[in-house]
Structure 1
Amino acid sequence: MQKTCAPAPTNKKEYIADIGKILVAEHGKKKYYKPEEVKKAHRKSKWYDGLDFSCWGMSTYSSHSDFDSYHEQTGEVCNYIEMKTEMLSGLSNTTDVNWMEIPDLDIDASWLDFGDVFEGVLEGIGEFISAIFEGLSG
């Protein structure tokens, strides 16, 4: 019997920021982090209370192929594109976003690769958004 991933974190923006800070502190800035690194960061975060929903962090910080390989091994049924879309929409739907605070996160915004999410329709938007974040921090 296949397992499904746990429900998404309620505050996606805060979850992404917290996990990102831990990943950068422990592994430096990278375009993608291995699912095991994300899982470890989740366990070290304030979000871990016995419930493991690190798959949502993996959908944000891991590559599509690493995400799929991890889930093939664990037998969990999780959809990278759907989960990443939900996590990124959590960023845009947040009403209290102060974009000037984002550089303080000191995380690499290259994970905002929308190519997979929109299946090529908006190719290049990831680089565009990354450039905005890099401009804010510079």
Structure 2
Amino acid sequence: MGKSCAPAPTNKKEYISDLGKILVNENGKKKYYKPEEVRKAHRKSKWYDGLNFSCWGMSTFSSHSDFDKYHEETGEICDYGEMKTEMLSGLSVSSTADWTEIPDIDIDASWLDFGDVFDGLLEGIGEFIGGIFDGI
């Protein structure tokens, strides 16, 4: 029987922003990052204090298939859609009323692919949100 992933970071928006900056600086802009790239970025971040919740970053920055393959290999039981939904909901739980006030993290926001999260109901919204971030 597999083990569950660690609890999610408390400040999801800040975690996504910090991890995104490290990923871009270390690996360049990509649509998706490999789980190992996300793990390395997590270890380099201020969030690494012995608690490894990098799979929450993987749910945001890795492809669904890479996420599933990684968790199959590690034996961890994690749900990509649920975790990605929780992480991205952390972006909307913000005191920032205007998208233009969100700090520029200089990343390709195409990873905001909500199709996996909502089983295609909101297909294309990731590109829309990506366009907003690209315009900041």
TM-score, normalization by structure 1: 0.94
Superposition deviation, residue 133 in structure 1: 1.4
Partners of 2:7 and 2:53 within 8 A in 1: yes
Deviations 1:62-118 (A, max 9, x none): 000000000000000000000000000010112246633546211111110000101
Which of 98-107 and 122-131 deviates more?
Answer: 98-107
Instruction: Name segments (4+ residues, structure 1) moved above 3 Å.
Output: none
Task: Give 1:104's aligned residue.
Answer: 104
**Distance in 1 separating the partners of 2:24 and 2:101:** 17
Specify the alignment match of 2:30 in structure 1. Answer: 30
2:134 and 2:49 map into 1 onto residues whose CA distance is: 33
Mind listing any 5+ residue stretches in structure 2 that lack a counterpart?
none
* Long gaps (5+) in structure 1: none
2:34 maps to a residue whose letter is K
Instruction: State the superposition RMSD in angstroms.
Output: 1.3
What TM-score do you get using the length of structure 2 for normalisation? 0.95
* Partner amino acid, structure 2, of 1:11: N
Alignment check: 8 A CA contact 1:33 1:62 kept = yes
SS in 1 for 2:90: helix
Q: Which amino acid aligns with 2:129?
A: I
**Which residue of 2 is the match for residue 122 of structure 1?**
122
Distance 1:131 1:98 in 2: 15
Whether the 8 Å contact between 2:96 and 2:102 is mirrored in structure 1 is no
Indicate conservation of the 8 Å contact 1:64/1:80, yes or no.
yes
Q: Secondary structure at the match of 1:115?
A: coil
